[in-house]
Amino acid sequence: MHTLQDPEFGNKMVTLMAALVLVLQIAMVAQRWIVTSIRIFAAQSFLLAAIANTIAYYNHAPHIYAAAALTLLAKGILVPIVLERLVARIGIRQEIKPILNVPLSIVISGGLTLVGYVLAEPFYRPDEAPGAATLGHNALAVAISLFLIGFFMMINRRNALTQVLALLCLENGLFLAAISLTYGMPLIVELGVLFDVLVAVMVLGILVYRIRETFESVDVSRMRRLRG
Amino acid sequence: MGSPDPFLAAGLASFFLGAVSGLATWKRPATARIVAFAFAVLGSLLLAVASCLALARPSSATWSLPLVTLFQCTVRLDPLSAWFTLTLAILALAVSVYSFGYLRPLERTRNLGALGFFYNALLLGLALVFTAANAFFFLSAWEVMAVSAFCLVAFEHEKAETRSAAVVYLIMSHAGTVMMLAAFLLLAAFAGSTDFASFHLLASKLPPGEQGAVFLLFFAGFGVKAGIVPLHIWLPDAHPVAPSNVSALMSGIVIKCGIYGMARVFFDFFGPPPLWTGTVVLAVGVVTALVGVLYALQEHDLKRLLAYHSIENIGIIVMGFGAALMFRTLGHLNLAAMAIIGALYHTVNHAIFKGLLFLAAGSVVQSVRTRNMEEMGGLIRRMPGTALFFLVGAIAISGLPPLNGFVSEWLTYQALLAGFGTTHSLTRMMFPIAGALLALTAALAAACFVKAFGIPFLALPRSEAAANARETAPEMQYAMALLAAACFVLGLGATWILPVFDPITQQALGVQVSQSLVAHGFALQAGTAQSGTVSPAGIALVFLALVGTAAFLVNRRLRRARVATGPAWDCGLPGLTSDNEYTATAFSKPLRLIFSAFYRPNREIRPEYDVSPYYPSAIRFESGIEPTFEKHIYGPLKDWVFGLSRRMRAIQAGSIHAYLAYIFVTLIVLLLFGVRE
């Protein structure tokens, strides 16, 4: 059998790329430059599209190609461009001090990855569905970790822009979970989710700009003043 | 005779159009007063026709309203519903006619379009509550009723007193709705449907624990609306502050929604319930009746006094239900039927005489511009019509023959006395005690209405306003005359009205007892071995004969004798003024002393001196009773809720990170401990 057609090879590829996605995510936790964070997000989205392509190839599911292409376009190219322009406009390039310091954040991210693996464990049943179906068992664990780390990043950051970015990473985790568990949701669902993300980026972009106008800062901690 | 349903549909449509016309005439009070209330009158007439048809020939047709909702808007006019819609129709007719006159002076200052809208919405909600045949539709109608009643109570919202009363009403009403909702959901989960038809006798098939829970939830939920003690505190605040036509509806029929709900649950959803349920209901009824009348005695605000009497009468009705539940469990279906008849008859009677009293009180308040009895006096000369109608209402509510209050209280009383003959040894003691306390309640009510009539209407005016009072608009007099006539008809014609209950008791218990309650065509009898017989019509005839003879004799004697008119004996003081009159406070003083253990009266006498302690220049006197329920139950409850809310504020930090962290921690905990297999 040709190496490329071996499901075992596919599995290894997916696992490798998923691991890279996770590493990128943790890199983002440690990153303080906003533009770099946006580029990490873009790279992560590229890798995600590649994972989707691989899964589509080994499961012969052509509609996942479409989802992969859309991911690439929207999250790999469009959203990063919009966000970089926003950074240029508000002129804030570096994250102010996060709530927890960088080493501690990385340790917590490691812990959350562990939680992700614990949670993914019950879904791994190689005896029931051998071969191509096991492709994603590592991917699911990574997906849950991505989700949790994204969430943690939202809590840990003060800058509204990095929070938007964290939300997008969280969404990436959901996408990965969807394709690794179900081998692609119907295209219409993918379209809906993507459209959702685009609208969210637009709205949040405007919101971030507004917060900056009102508070002379994008530090959401200051919104405490809005309390009645 | 045709089907009642077209008339019911037309009546509902009429109330709906009335509400719409209220909105349409939002800016034109003069038009709103005529159009909105004309629709209300029309709707009441149609509803009355529908109810009479449904009572005359019971049918069980269920049909749906053309509304788009998530549930079936089914409506059914069975005999029990018809009895309540008839009550509603009679009262709404009178109150709507009254409103034409009552609202005329308000045209310039008030938004009568809004009043017309909420008034018709209230009537529509009430009619739907009484006829809905689906739990969710019932609850929706209930909310329409409760919220429009809130808006009507808050109509004079510029007064702080009104606002706080309305808010308390809204809170309590919704607490009650929550309990009802919980009970309905328990039933629906068991029945697999929310149709009332599927609930029939279902509650008794529940496991004992759930059965008790459903029963108590329903009793408390409906009890809030009905005003049973200790859930009554909203009632004496909310009813008086509303415009008087609304007060009449609130006390007359809105609280009867609670009674309707209890009747529907106790005798339709439940089969023979456990004995303790009837005992609880009877005991609550006794306490409610006594507490209501005791507070009424010490109340000198005319409308608040009437509101407390509503609590008392609800207690009497609930006593009837309690007795009926116990009899049903003990297997005495005829006695149960008699107790139900007493309770339902008292429901319509109370709606009519309390409506009448509130309308008369509204007439007085409009004329004198105060609700305080101590500033009235002498109104019988200035407002003879209102005084006469108030007197009729007062006699009826005191349970004196031959008016309607007597008949229903007598039936309840006889049922309670007959209960002693039932076999069960321990619970049989409940009946004569309840009967004795019912008699006490009726006597205290009579004492209270001697005060409520005597102080405002007799003797000399106690204030400038009372001296200048004028009789109110003729429409108001017609409306009161209508209700006063109904008091006579329901009292004197009781023996002809009793057969109407046969379909209701047939549906609830499977027995018909009206034959055994009527003796010789015109007398009432209890239908049991050691019971009495009484004829309101006979009493009326004897009374007329005695009074006629006496009047004739006195008249003849007077014509022969020489009559001299002179000043009243004033103990040698220079002239009698209104300051020499007996006040309401003084009148109720003996009862305040007798029941001081209950009232815990406080009084403060503070003399003020200028020079010598032997010659006080002024004396301040204050006297009051302790608001037991507010102080010992609702005060601590309120403090507890507020304290809890203050503690809850700590987690409402207003920080986005904190909120995100709450979600995150919850998520992780649920993922780790909730999801695993």
What average pLDDT does chain B have? Answer: 89
* Alpha carbon of B665: minimum distance to chain A alpha carbons (Å): 10
pLDDT for the residue numbered B480: 95
Nearest in space to B157 (alpha carbons), one of B165, B147, B149, B148? B165
What confidence score (pLDDT) does residue B578 get? 80
Res B675: pLDDT: 60
Q: Stretch A85-98: mean pLDDT, rounded? A: 76
pLDDT score of B549: 93
Q: In this complex, which of B660, B672, B675 lies closest to A155 when CB atoms are compared?
A: B660
B648–chain A nearest CA distance, Å: 15
B671 → closest Cβ in A99, A119, A152 = A119
Q: Which residues of A touch B667 (CB under 8 A)?
A: 151
In this structure, is residue B473 part of a structural domain? yes
Contact B655 A154 (CB under 8 A): no
The residues of B whose Cβ lies within 8 A of any Cβ of A are 652-657, 660-661, 663-664, 667-668, 671-672, 675-677
For residue A180 the two structure tokens come to 């690794």
Q: What is the pLDDT of residue A91?
A: 76
Evaluate whether residue B195 is within a structural domain: no
At B525, give phi and psi (nearest 5°): -140, 155
The three-point CA angle B353-B259-B633 to 5° equals 100
Q: What SS3 class is residue B533?
A: strand
Nearest CA in chain A to B662: A155
Please check whether residue B609 is in contact with residue B308, taking contact to mean a CB–CB distance below 8 angstroms.
no
Q: What is the DSSP letter of B640?
A: H
Q: Look at residue A126 and tell me whether its pLDDT is greater than 70.
A: no
**What mean pLDDT is predicted for residues B53-68?**
80
Could you tell me the sign of the dihedral formed by the alpha carbons of B264, B265, B269, B275, in that order? negative
B657/A221 Cβ within 8 A = yes
CB-nearest partner of A226 from B652, B654, B663: B654
Q: Please name the residue of chain A whose CA is at the shortest distance from the CA of residue B671.
A: A119
Domain membership flag for residue B135: no
Looking at the fold, whether B670 and B621 belong to one and the same domain comes out as: no
The pLDDT tens digits of the residues spanning B148-204 come to: 999 999 999 999 999 999 999 999 999 999 999 999 999 998 888 888 988 888 878
Q: DSSP characters for B212-261?
A: HHHHHHHHHHHHHHHT-TTS-TTHHHHHHHS-HHHHHHIIIIITHHHHHH
Judge if B471 and B481 occupy the same domain.
Answer: yes
In a domain, B362, yes or no: yes
B230: preceding bond cis by omega (within 30 degrees): yes
- Residues of A within an 8 Å Cβ radius of B: 99, 115, 118-119, 122, 148, 151-152, 154-155, 158, 220-221, 223-224, 226-227
Mind telling me how many Å the CA of B664 is from chain A's nearest CA?
A: 7
Mean pLDDT of B393-398: 94
Under an 8 A CB cutoff, do A224 and B671 touch? no
Contact pairs from chain A to chain B, CB under 8 Å = 37
Which comes out higher in pLDDT, residue B65 or B179? B179
Q: Which residue has the higher pLDDT, B500 or B527?
A: B500
Residues B633 and B542 in one domain: no
- CB A155 to CB B671 under 8 A? no
The residue range of the domain holding A93 is: 3-226
Cβ <8 Å between A154 and B671: no
Q: What one-character DSSP code corresponds to residue B157?
A: T
Indicate if B365 and B414 belong to the same structural domain.
Answer: yes
Q: Which of B386, B387, B403 has its CA nearest to residue B395? A: B403
Residues B622 and B644 occupy one common structural domain: no
Which span out of A114-128, A148-162, B87-101 was modeled with the highest average pLDDT? B87-101
Q: What is the pLDDT of residues B336-369, one digit of tens each?
A: 999 999 999 999 999 999 999 999 999 999 999 9
The pLDDT value given to residue B528: 62
Residue A144 in tokens: 């849950």
User: For the residues A89-98, what does the mean pLDDT come to?
Assistant: 73
Q: What is the pLDDT of residues B14-33, one digit of tens each?
A: 999 999 999 998 888 888 88
Closest residue to B654, CB basis, from A151, A155, A224? A224
Q: Tally the domains of chain A.
A: 1
**b/e code A2-22 from CB counts within 10 Å (16+ = b):** eeeeebeebbebbbebbebbb
Q: Domain check: are B485 and B378 in the same one?
A: yes
**What is the reported pLDDT for A96?**
65
**Which of B651, B652, B656, B677 to mutate to probe the A interface, most A CBs <10 Å?**
B656
**Domain containing residue B606:** 596-626
Chain A CA closest to residue B667: A148
Query: Residues of B with CB below 8 A from A108's CB?
Result: none
Beta bridge partners of B603: B623
Look at residue B472 and tell me if it is in a domain.
Answer: yes
CA distance B673 to chain A (A): 10
Nearest to B657 among A122, A155, A227 (CB): A155
CA distance B643 to chain A (A): 19
Q: Decide if B656 and A151 are in contact by the 8 Å CB cutoff.
A: no
What integer pLDDT is reported at residue A70 of this predicted model? 84
- Bigger pLDDT: A199 or B296? B296
Please report which confidence band the pLDDT of residue B245 belongs to, taking 50, 70 and 90 as the band edges.
very high
pLDDT > 90? residue B209: no
pLDDT at A142 over 80: yes
CA atoms within 13 A on the CB side of B421: 11
CB contact under 8 A, B668 and A118: no
Q: How far is A97 from chain B (nearest CA, A)?
A: 14
d(CA B168, CA B174): 10
Q: What was the pLDDT predicted at B98?
A: 95
Task: Find chain B residues with C-beta within 8 A of A149's C-beta.
Answer: none
pLDDT class for B530, splitting at 50, 70, 90?
low
- Domain membership of residue B75 (yes or no) is no
Is residue A132 pLDDT above 60, yes or no?
no
Chain A residue numbers with beta carbons less than 8 Å from the beta carbon of B672 are 115, 118-119
Backbone angles phi, psi at B320, to 5 degrees: -60, -45
- Total number of domains constituting chain B: 3
- Rounded to whole angstroms, what are the CA distances from B157 to B30, B33, B111, B240, B243? 21, 20, 12, 13, 11
Are residues B414 and B340 located together in one domain of the fold?
Answer: yes
Which one of A215, A224, A225 makes the best mutation probe of the B interface by having the most chain B beta carbons within 10 Å? A224
Taking CA–CA distances from A152, the nearest residue in chain B reads B664
8 A C-beta contact, residue B485 and residue B331: no
Q: Are residues B363 and B497 in the same domain?
A: yes
Please list every residue in chain A whose beta carbon sits closer than 8 Å to the beta carbon of residue B677. Answer: 122
The reply to whether B358 and B451 lie within a common domain is yes
B653, B664, B677: residue with CB nearest A155 = B664
* pTM of the model as a whole: 0.79
Chain B positions in Cβ-Cβ contact with residue A220 (cut-off 8 Å): 656-657
Q: pLDDT tens digit string along B305-343?
A: 999 999 999 999 999 999 999 999 888 888 899 999 999
Which of B620 and B263 is assigned the larger pLDDT? B263
Q: Is the peptide bond before B402 cis (omega within 30 degrees of 0)?
A: yes
CB < 8 Å to B654, chain A: 223-224, 226-227
Question: pLDDT tens for residues B396-435?
Answer: 999 888 899 999 999 998 888 888 777 666 777 888 899 9
Average pLDDT over residues A110-119: 87
Residue of B664, B666, B667 for testing the chain A interface, max A β-carbons within 10 Å? B664
Greatest alpha-carbon pair distance for chain B in Å reads 106
For A167, which residue in chain B has the nearest alpha carbon? B660
Q: What is the pLDDT of residue A125?
A: 64
User: For B155, which DSSP code?
Assistant: G
Q: Write out pLDDT tens, residues B259-295.
A: 999 999 999 998 888 889 999 999 999 999 999 999 9
Same domain assignment for residues B504 and B614: no
> Mind telling me how many Å the CA of A66 is from chain B's nearest CA?
31
Are the beta carbons of A119 and B655 separated by less than 8 Å?
Answer: no
- Regarding whether B455 and B417 lie in a shared domain, the answer is yes
A115 → closest Cβ in B656, B668, B677: B668
C-alpha to C-alpha distance for B499 and B522, rounded to whole angstroms: 13
Which one has a higher pLDDT value, B146 or B68? B146
Contacts of A115 in chain B (CB under 8 A): 668, 671-672
Three-state secondary structure call for residue B604: strand
Asked if pLDDT for residue B677 goes beyond 60, the answer is no
> Which of these, B267, B386, B238, lies nearest to B336 by C-alpha position?
B267
Q: From the CA of B655, how many Å to the nearest CA of chain A?
A: 5
Q: What are the φ/ψ torsions at residue B75 (nearest 5 degrees)?
A: -130, 140
> DSSP labels for B71-115?
S--EEE--HHHHHHHHHHHHHHHHHHHHHHHHTGGGTTTS-HHHH
| Confidence band, pLDDT 50/70/90 cuts, at residue B63 | confident
Between the CA of residue B274 and those of B189, B328, B342, what are the distances in Å?
22, 10, 22
Indicate the pLDDT class of residue A129, thresholds 50, 70 and 90.
low
Chain A closest-CA separation from residue B666 CA (Å): 12
Average pLDDT over residues B199-217: 88
Question: Are residues B287 and B229 in contact, defined by beta-carbon separation less than 8 angstroms?
Answer: yes
Show the beta-strand stretches assigned E in B419-556.
518-519, 523-525, 533-534
In a domain, B640, yes or no: yes
Q: What value does the mean pLDDT take over residues B65-74?
A: 78
The beta-carbon neighbor of B664 closest among A151, A224, A227 is A151
Top residue of B649, B655, B666, B677 to mutate, by most chain A CBs within 10 Å, is: B655
Question: What is the H or E stretch that residue B491 is in?
Answer: helix B474-492
B216 burial (CB, 10 Å; 0-12 / 13-18 / 19+) is middle
Report the gap between the CA of B649 and the closest CA in chain A (Å). Answer: 11
Token pair for B641 = 């809720």
**Nearest CA-CA distance, residue B645 and chain A, Å:** 15
Stretch A196-223: mean pLDDT = 75
Q: Indicate whether B535 and B469 sit together in one domain.
A: yes
In a domain, B47, yes or no: no
Question: Which residues make Cβ contacts (< 8 Å) with residue B637, sequence separation at least 6?
Answer: none
Residue B311 φ then ψ, to 5°: -60, -45
